[in-house]
Amino acid sequence: MLQHQQNQMIQATHVLAKRSRRRRSVVRNICVHDWIAIAPQLGLYDCVIDELRNDDTRAFPNFMRMLPTMYDETVNRLTPALTKVTSNW
% of the chain exceeding 70 in pLDDT: 69
Those residues with Cβ within 8 angstroms of residue 63's Cβ, 6 or more apart along the chain or in another chain = 52
pTM above 0.85, yes or no: no
Q: What is the pLDDT at residue 43? A: 67
36 versus 77: the higher-pLDDT residue is 77
Q: What is the mean pLDDT of residues 45-53?
A: 77
Count the neighbouring beta carbons within 10 Å of the beta carbon of residue 59: 16
Residue 35 pLDDT grade (very low, low, confident, very high; cuts 50, 70, 90): low
* Class of residue 39 by CB neighbours under 10 A (exposed 0-12, middle 13-18, buried 19+): middle
Q: What is the pLDDT at residue 70? A: 93
Q: What is the pLDDT at residue 22? A: 57
